[in-house]
């Protein structure tokens, strides 16, 4: 299993880095759009849309909404398709804080299922638009965001194993600890400093950029936890089997779906990078 996971991880890294650095923004956008639809297919299954026709309609709906959002963002120059994603993840933080896995009966379970179906739209559409936007600004920003979320995840894992004592979200993911989260935040600071230097961000904006990276890393944890909620509700260990040793598409992009809209809006709001 470990050997399979490592091989898949290396192949994914090569494919992703090549796509980000070598593809023009149009083709990169199509690739991200395809990944978004693959994630929608898995999301629909986890939400109980087991009939292929119903799941196909769900994916088609997300495709249409994503295309509309892309047109609004790049054709009309509107930010609100991404702003909705930022607001959504603020709401997710509240939902995660009050999540009760035992409440699965009656109307509450019924409405929770419909809520998760809608959550797929709010999760995948803004993330797709944000990643395409970041690539148009500068492809290296996409790689930086991917490495930022990976750094936070790895640091949280190792810090949690070494120092973990207090559970972060025991009702959702018993393996995550507060000490692990703190370790992730500590690791992000030097990574943010490296990013500020690489992107030649004005010195006056370094503090803002570091704070943005910290907030982005925190929100990426929410993305991970929310997918855990989705899988818990479905009684599934992984979102799919497409990636041997890693699970499905959602298992690889859960943190990124939350981080991308927040990172982009922070850059634009703080005028850190040119729009």
**pLDDT tens sequence across 105-142:** 555 555 667 788 899 999 999 999 999 999 999 999 99
Q: Tell me the C-alpha to C-alpha distance, in Å, between residue 196 and each of 114, 191, 255.
A: 42, 9, 22
Per DSSP, the residues of 112-136 read HHHHHHHHHHHHHHHHHHHHHHHHH
Mean pLDDT, rounded, for 65-91: 93
More confident residue, 102 or 220: 220
Name the 3-class secondary structure at 176.
strand
Length of the chain: 275
17 pLDDT above the threshold of 70:
yes
| pLDDT score at 72 | 93
pTM for this predicted structure: 0.93
- Name the residue with tokens 């994914």: 12
| pLDDT score at 184 | 94
Give 166's DSSP letter: S
- Name the residue with tokens 């896995």: 101
| pLDDT score at 275 | 47
pLDDT digits over 197-206, tens only? 999 999 999 9
Mean pLDDT, rounded, for 87-93: 94
Locate the domains of the chain by residue range. 2-269
Mean pLDDT, rounded, for 239-259: 85
Instruction: Indicate left, alpha or beta for 245 from its phi (over 0: left) and psi (-120 to 50: alpha).
Output: left
Give 247's DSSP letter: B
Across 47-51, 197-201, 237-241, 244-248, least confident range: 244-248
40 pLDDT above the threshold of 70:
yes
Closest CA to 40 of 75, 17, 67, 13: 67
| pLDDT score at 103 | 61
| pLDDT score at 110 | 58
Q: With bands split at pLDDT 50, 70 and 90, how would you rate the model's confidence at 194?
A: very high
Cβ(168)–Cβ(177) under 8 Å? Answer: yes
């Amino acid at each position: 299993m470990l050997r399979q996971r490592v091989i898949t991880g290396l192949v994914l890294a090569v494919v992703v880095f090549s796509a980000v650095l070598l593809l023009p923004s149009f083709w990169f956008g199509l690739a991200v759009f395809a990944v978004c639809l693959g994630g929608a297919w898995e999301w629909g299954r986890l939400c109980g849309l087991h009939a292929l026709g119903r799941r196909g309609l769900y994916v088609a709906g997300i495709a249409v909404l994503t295309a509309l959002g892309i047109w609004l963002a790049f054709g009309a120059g509107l930010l609100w398709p991404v702003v909705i994603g930022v607001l959504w993840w603020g709401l997710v933080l509240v939902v995660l804080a009050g999540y009760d896995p035992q409440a699965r009966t009656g109307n509450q379970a019924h409405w929770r299922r419909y809520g998760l179906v809608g959550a797929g739209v709010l999760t995948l559409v803004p993330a797709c638009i944000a990643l395409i936007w970041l690539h148009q600004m500068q492809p290296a920003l996409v790689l930086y965001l991917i490495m930022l979320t990976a750094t936070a995840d790895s640091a949280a894992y190792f810090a949690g194993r070494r120092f973990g004592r207090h559970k972060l979200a025991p009702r959702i993911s018993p393996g995550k600890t507060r000490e692990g989260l703190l370790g992730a935040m500590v690791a992000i600071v030097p990574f943010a400093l490296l990013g500020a230097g690489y992107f030649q961000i004005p010195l006056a904006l370094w503090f803002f950029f570091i704070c943005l990276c910290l907030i982005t890393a925190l929100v990426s944890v929410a993305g991970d936890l929310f997918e855990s909620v989705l899988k818990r509700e479905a009684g599934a260990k992984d979102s799919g089997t497409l990636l041997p040793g890693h699970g499905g598409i959602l298992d690889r992009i859960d943190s990124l779906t939350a981080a991308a809209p927040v990172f982009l809006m922070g850059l634009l709001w703080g005028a850190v990078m040119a729009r």
